[in-house]
Chain A
Amino acid sequence: MTTPEQSTKVTVDQVACEGTAFCVRSLPDVFELNDDGVAEVNEAGARQAAFADLQDVENMCPTTAIRVANG
């Protein structure tokens, strides 16, 4: 059986991301900056994160680079 959290899909648009790192500082277990200074998703961390917290970070991203989808 799949819980809502386990089916959550989190992506970061690698073009739109400007490396403001709000996501990394808010949810360090889910997001990290790569060598180009762009955020990437730790999928294991994303599966553990609360959906509301992910949505909070999605809404906060100043470049709308993050997408959080359920299902």
Chain B
Amino acid sequence: MSQEIARDVTFANIANMTVIRDHADIQSVLRSPDVVQLKGDLPLEGRPFTTGSLLAINGDQHLARRRLYATLFSNEMLHYLYDHGSRPVIVDTLVRLAEDSAKAGTEPEADLAEMGAMLLYRVAAQIVGVDGVETDEGVNAFTRIVDGIGKGIALEWIHDPDPIVVEAQAAQEELRERFFNPSLARRRELVQAYREGRIERADLTRDVITLWLLDTDSDVDEEMLLIEVGVFLNASTRTTVRVLPHIVQRIATWLDEHPEDRQHATESTFLRGAISESLRLHGLIPALLRRVVNPITLPSGATLEPGEQLALIFRDASVDPEIYGDDTMEFDPYRINRLPRKTSPWGLAFGGGAHMCIGRRLVTGGDWRRDSEASDRDVDGSLVAIVRALFEAGVRPHPDKAAVDHVSAHFSEYDEYLTYPVTFTTLDRFVASARASTKEA
């Protein structure tokens, strides 16, 4: 589906940018060395939240940073995070929900939009290396802080950035004082002990902050690391938080229409296909922004000139019928089995090229595309862990309480649920099973 690029957009800070919607054109831009990141520079007030972070750096600096993070999402680490991060966090959350409901004498119910955030922030804290989010109060404070910083990171989508900058800076300072400084201090001591031979490498924490400390001979740039931590916390959570209610909604609807699939609802194969489709259909990021540094010609024939700023709209590209079929707008968890070779089952949800989302495998797990021989085919991601546990506990959309989405609440096109009430039909059985597994372990 070839679409002309557009140069007459008026939305917020992407006004007058070149808008690209065609799948092949976007992929070409993402892979081009002649196009660089624009994150944080539009408007310039966004710099305190992104400058020097993985989202904003390019070229050799970016390559070195990605090399530093090579171990962060290794296959072994992804298995570890499933068994010691995502799975225990969701199990713990559901057990506590069951206990609270029993105490209150009510049927178990939750707002999945809120629960998803709490879950993912706890996993993200583990990856980044932030301590102190184990209690409800800690998670609540952490959630508020990360959300506040997130607004600063996404400043390009705000019409009036000034008040948002103030809010984001306050959140960044709170992150520094309450979570970042103590976490950094603890890891400094561990790395020092390792360097002095008092502990083994295996005894170190395995996270972003520790990798930065290990990488430097002198001392880390704390300001830049604080920015990186804020970016990582947002990038590794918001995407998943936004899509989680969509996944449950899509699967629940599918199972109502295809009851024969109920027996497969907690199996990896089914969940991988369902999650991929949800990611493809529900554009997680409205667009990614780039700046052209050398002239390039796109597959559609359009040419881009140096200095031109680009908005890459993924939502249209991820539902291109020439790639995903005439039924591209329909949710089909088995589409993955009939996609052409090499086609991404989650569309462009994670971008592409050198800046492809570093946490993609954390979220989706391995590359299970047909014909792939990648070494991570047996790895399940955090979304599979969470959605599997939810359906093991019998999650279903609340029969009496309506979900509220961004479209109806704010007259926007942002594809996100603000609230998504759910109930659980087999939570007791799930909790009993979880407790039995804990005893066995």
Binding site for B on A (CB under 8 A): 13-16, 18-22, 25-26, 37, 56, 59-60, 62-65, 67
Contacts and interface: CB of A to CB of B under 8 A. Distances in A.
A28 to B, nearest CB: 12
Contacts of A25: 63
A70 B67 CA distance: 22
Interface stretch (B121-129, B149-157, B372-380): B372-380
B372 A21 contact: no
B374 A65 contact: yes
Interface of B: 27, 31, 33, 63, 66-67, 70-71, 73-75, 341-342, 344, 352-354, 356, 358, 360-361, 366-367, 369-376
A22 B66 contact: yes
A62 B360 contact: yes
A19 B352 contact: yes
Given A26-B63, A59-B74, A15 B354 contact: no
Contacts, number: 68
A26 B70 CA distance: 13
Chief secondary structure at chain B's binding surface: loop
Contacts of B354: 20-22
A50 to B, nearest CB: 15
B67 A21 contact: no
A21 B31 contact: yes
A41 to B, nearest CB: 15
Given A19-B353, A63-B367, A13 B373 contact: yes
Contacts of A20: 352-354, 356
Contacts of B366: 64
A20 B63 CA distance: 10
Name, among B27, B66, B344, B369, the residue most crowded by chain A CB atoms within 10 Å (CB to CB). Answer: B66
